[in-house]
Structure 1
Amino acid sequence: MSKNFQRLRIDPERPDPRKMQPAVDALRRGCVILYPTDTGYALGCALSSAKGISELRRLKGIHAKHAKPLTMLVETLNDMGRYGVMGNTAFRVVRRLLPGPYTMVLKATSDVPRAMKNRANEVGMRLPDHKICNMLVDFLGEPLLTGSVTPGESEPELEDPAELESRYNREIDLMIDSGHLWPEPSTVLRFDELGDIEILRAGQGALP
């Protein structure tokens, strides 16, 4: 176990801002943390941290030339427009669906660090309806890269915080424990430059 590992127990319905501060401090130091989202537990780091992005890629097994883009949590639709290229059609769809359990894959703007783009110059973005996620992004003051926990072959569901701690306590410094969560993947939509939508994964969110 990491000698600095912390497990913060936080109420997902009434998160205490003071209890959240160690997680924000860890993100600002470039650490990867484990935290709850509206689609299950996820690994995350600050967008500005090259160290964090590299470590998150290692933990997720997504190399720099992978076809799958990394995903960030943003605070507002304006942030989504800053980091992703959206035409009028895409914006109307995004505004109707968010916040919610969706991942939007868009062409990345120049404000997205090169280290997190995929080989097609794309980035995934989420605006979840989840108090802890929103509070983390707000307190951090920048987007939070995110990657859902991937079960091992003998672990079909990793919704127990104790199991997650056992698996990751040598890999990360901190986890936010909000209780048991059943993973429910987000719906993933890709928007091309003409505004056409491709459904990459049908998940928790209703299809547009």
Structure 2
Amino acid sequence: MSAARQHHFARLRIDPDRPDPRKLMPAVDALRRGEVIIYPTDTGYAFGCALSSARGITTLRKLKNIHSKHSKPLTMLVESLNDMGRYGAMSNQAFRVVRRLLPGPYTMVLRATSDVPRAMKNRAHEVGMRLPDHKVCAMLVDLLGEPLLTGSVTPGEEPPELEDPEELEHHHGHDVALIIDGGHIWPEPSTVLRFDDNGDIEVLRAGQGPLPDW
């Protein structure tokens, strides 16, 4: 671990049900510097960086091993349905489904608009969108003032103990600026729905969110 990493790394302990915005400011400052953090979500711990940070996007791609030509889209955390409509193209049918399901444990894959940085799009020019029902997520995006590029820390092949903040620090303390410690969170992946240009919906992954009756 380099001296710079040692100097910058921190672990912030917060109450995930009643987060204090002042305690989250070091995380927001790190995001504004273009650094990657780990933070709690409704589906487990996730890497995060500011949408506007090309350096952060590059780092997060490396951590997730998702290269720019990969078919899997990167995902952003937004503050509202309005933001989702700004960054993702939605038909009227798609908007009705999205409005009914969110906020919640879903990832919506939509065709990316011109407001999405090129570095975020997959080869099909799609982007994943999340609006979790989680206070830390909502507060982070609000304080940052822009969407958060996000990706789960624990892929399926990783041991579940990586959902413990101490283990996260042990494995990823050298990769990120800080960890927001919200206690142990058992990972439950989001349900992933893909909306095509015709308004048709494809279930890419059945996860925590119940499948809607459309």
TM-score (structure 1 length as normaliser):
0.98
Structure 1 153/93 Cα, relative in aligned 2: closer, same or farther at 3 Å? closer
Alignment counterpart, residue 70 of structure 1, candidates 74, 78, 96: 74
How many pairs were matched up?
A: 208
The alignment's TM-score, normalised by the length of structure 2, stands at 0.95
1 CA distance for matches of 2:158 and 2:185?
18
Distance 1:124 1:152, change over 3 A: closer
Contiguous gaps of at least 5 residues in structure 1: none
In structure 2, the residue matched to 1:43 is 47
SS of the aligned residue for 1:69 comes to coil
* Residue 81 (structure 1) aligned with residue 85 (structure 2): yes
Q: CA deviation at 1:155?
A: 1.6
TM-superposition CA deviations, 1:24-43 (whole Å, max 9, x none): 00000000000000000000
Gaps of 5+ in 2: none
Which of 130, 140, 146 is the matching residue for 1:126? 130
Query: Contact 1:31/1:52 (CA < 8 Å) preserved in 2?
Result: yes
The sequence identity of aligned pairs, in percent, is 79
Instruction: Let me know the Cα RMSD of the aligned residues.
Output: 1.1
How far residue 173 of structure 1 moved from its aligned partner, in angstroms, is: 1.1
Dislocated runs of 4+, deviation >2 Å: 150-154
Which of the residues 89, 96, 103 maps onto 2:100? 96
**What SS does the corresponding residue of 1:158 show, helix, strand or coil?**
helix
CA distance, structure 2, for counterparts of residue 107 and residue 157 of structure 1: 35
SS of structure 1 residue aligned to 2:104: coil
For 1:173-192, list aligned pairs within 5 A: 173-192=177-196
Task: Specify the code of the residue in structure 2 equivalent to 1:28.
Answer: R
Deviation for aligned residue 1:151: 4.4
The answer for the alignment partner of 1:21 in structure 2 is 25
